[in-house]
Amino acid sequence: MSLLELSPARCVRALSVNSLCSLCADVCPANAIALGERLPSINQSLCVGCSGCVAVCPSEAFVLDDFNPTEFFFSFASEEGNLVSCQKNLPCIAALSSEHLISLCSLKKGLILDIGHCSDCDIGIKVLEVMEERIQSANYLLEAIEVESRVVSEKISYGSDEVDEHKDRRDFFKTFHLRGMVKAKHDFDKEVQSTTDEFVEIRIESSHTQELRTKKITDRRKLFFTALKRVEKPSQFHVVDASMIGFTSQKMMDEANCTACQMCYRVCPTAALTSDMRNSRIDFDPFLCVKCHLCHDVCESDAISVSTSYNLTEWFEPKVQNLITYSVRRCDECAALFSSVGGEKICRRCRLEEEEALELWGLNR
Ligand code: SF4
Ligand code: SF4
Ligand code: SF4
């Protein structure tokens, strides 16, 4: 059995009260994740350790104590064979994201997902639904980048001697004498936590401040681009249906709606959106976007949209694109520099103060 942990500062819900991300709770087949006021809460006794939330979280905020998808990726890529199975090498096929499927399939010249045990598994129905979508998306994109191999699902049966024995959580007690006291205490605390049958609320502490500010590219994105480098460049870069890509996006910005508040680039967890020292522009790097939707959630004027098509040039020759350029001028009220889109003469803060004063004195009717 596993213990699921959330790195609070990595969850995009920690970056803004406007975040609507619920991917982990939506995908969990055991209903072990609930969305609290801010961060997800976890019920360890319901968690079955399938790693579905780890695979779906855009910012890799979840970790399981006994399965690391990146370590799995490297060991699997270096071994013979292309079969992944909950009976052999990973907790559940749902542990693999679409990026993992594409990367492994292109490196291994084909990938087989064993679904032969899903019908006997409590979470199997939901896992099959989720994986069917991911397989479809992976194969659509593999075809578009002109990789011939495909991800397939197959029902595989094993003899009892072929199945790897799962380590039981209670093995912890058997190995107690082998460990140092500090490690044993840590494991004991985790053991107690894992048997709590309540949703445990997770909070942001002041110690997370630095991590909250750090922009980070996910491990699976690094693996994805490393795998793409080993693939032959397609004869042409196709433009594909963006709704078939769940893990990245192409953005557009509407100049008429943008208020130059610059919230979007400040909250972006990966630095896919950036600005310059003068705040005179917003640029977008599609290589880094993890489609967490946070920039859309914080944009009060709905100025950002996702393109309905996606040009696969971004995967082979990624370029940073300018989405909007502002004029930077001094505010007529406070003399501070500010970015403006429509020739405004006073900065946003002064304008809000002015609006508040008018409201207070009933002069804005
Ligand atoms: S999927 Fe990840 S980012 Fe989204 S709410 Fe869950 S933990 Fe947070
Ligand atoms: S796109 Fe939206 S969030 Fe970004 S600067 Fe413009 S108004 Fe602000
Ligand atoms: S650009 Fe938007 S959707 Fe993409 S990673 Fe940044 S905040 Fe998330």
Same-domain status, 283 and 315: yes
Looking at every residue in the chain, the average pLDDT score rounds to 88
Question: Which of the listed residues 19, 259, 297 should we mutate to test ligand 2's pocket, taking the one with most ligand atoms within 8 A of CB?
Answer: 259
Q: Domain range for residue 342?
A: 328-360
Task: Confirm or reject: Cβ of 292 under 6 Å from ligand 3.
Answer: yes
Task: Confirm or reject: Cβ of 264 under 6 Å from ligand 2.
Answer: yes
Mean pLDDT of 116-141: 94
Task: Confirm or reject: Cβ of 272 under 6 Å from ligand 3.
Answer: yes
Short-list 343, 334, 341, CA closest to 260: 341
Q: Name the closest-CA residue to atom 3, ligand 1.
A: 11
Distance CA 207, CA 215 (A): 17
Q: Does any domain span residue 187?
A: yes
Residue 159: band (very low, low, confident or very high) from pLDDT cuts 50, 70, 90: confident
pLDDT at 1: 56
Place of tokens 């090498």: 89
pLDDT at 125: 93
Same-domain status, 321 and 334: no
Whether residue 169 is predicted with pLDDT greater than 80 in this model: the reply is: no
How many domains does the chain fold into?
A: 3
Q: Does any domain span residue 222?
A: no
Which ligand has the nearest atom to the CA of 259? Answer: 2
The token pair that represents 114 in the structure block:
């064993």
Task: Confirm or reject: Cβ of 294 under 6 Å from ligand 3.
Answer: yes
pLDDT at 202: 86
pLDDT at 112: 97
Residue pLDDT, tens place only, 15-31: 999 999 999 999 999 99
Query: Atom of ligand 3 at shortest distance to CA of 270?
Result: 5
Give 277's contacts (C-beta < 8 A, 6+ positions apart): none
The token pair that represents 307 in the structure block:
């393109």
Q: Exposed, middle or buried, 25 (CB in 10 Å: 0-12/13-18/19+)?
A: middle
The rounded Å distance from CA 20 to ligand 3 centre is 13
pLDDT at 182: 41
Of 184, 213, 242, the position where a domain reaches its end is: 213
Same-domain status, 52 and 165: yes
Query: Atom of ligand 2 at shortest distance to CA of 259?
Result: 7
Same-domain status, 350 and 277: no
Task: Confirm or reject: Cβ of 351 under 6 Å from ligand 3.
Answer: no
